[in-house]
Amino acid sequence: MTIQHPERRMADLKMAESDSKTQLFDEIDDIHAGMLGVEGSGLHMQPMAPQLDRDTNTIWFFAKKSAEMVEAIKPGSHAHFCVIGEDHDYHACVAGPISVNLDTAKRDQYWNSVVEAWFEGGKDDPQLTMLALKMSDAKIWASTDSKLKFGWEIAKANLTDDDPHVGVTKEIRF
């Protein structure tokens, strides 16, 4: 029996060059979780489910008030959020100021059954809060999905002094 895999969207190198912000937003929307870390907190990065507000360049996360990460966030804190695409051909690191902010409109907008499973008291759970990462900059790495192109570039690089060209790296400012 052959298992059919759903069509996967590979990293588009042309889009990485021409519209890297939209591509980044699309990748954030496609992942279930990325790794979030608060600079200077001494804590390890941890998996968090992003809720992207494209209009304000903000990533929202549901969290428990008692979580170490929440307690580590102080006025002026900055964070990094790392994204890895489903096919491992897209990587990004987003940075910016982070704050604890239980915005009830955002809570209602992003609330779903997965979030509800973490909060026994639902939307009114006393432990419920949200984190808002206001994106200031990001760096992306998009790589080719072509094994032939990858192999050609590696072989060419081994025969010359040139680095292989297997993808696109871009910096984004918000």
46 forms beta bridges with 36
Name which residue leads in pLDDT, 147 or 25: 25
Question: How far is the C-alpha of 56 from the C-alpha of 64, rounded, in Å?
Answer: 23
- 98: pLDDT confidence band, cut at 50, 70 and 90? very high
Residue 89: which pLDDT band, with cuts at 50, 70 and 90?
A: confident
pLDDT computed for residue 4 by the predictor? 39
Separation between Cα atoms, residue 85 and residue 26, nearest integer Å: 10
**SS3 state of residue 71:** helix
pLDDT at 54: 98
Q: How many residues does the chain have?
A: 174
Q: Which sequence spans correspond to the domains of the chain? A: 13-173
What pTM, to 2 d.p., does this model score? 0.84
pLDDT at 1 over 60: no
- The two most distant CA atoms of the chain are separated, in Å, by 63
CATH of 13-173, one of 2.30.110.10, 2.60.130.10, 3.40.50.10490, 3.40.630.30: 2.30.110.10
Contacting residues for 77 by C-beta, under 8 A, at least 6 apart: 38, 39, 40, 41, 97, 98, 99
Tens digit of pLDDT for each residue in 159-172?
777 765 557 889 99
For residue 97, the model assigns a pLDDT of 98
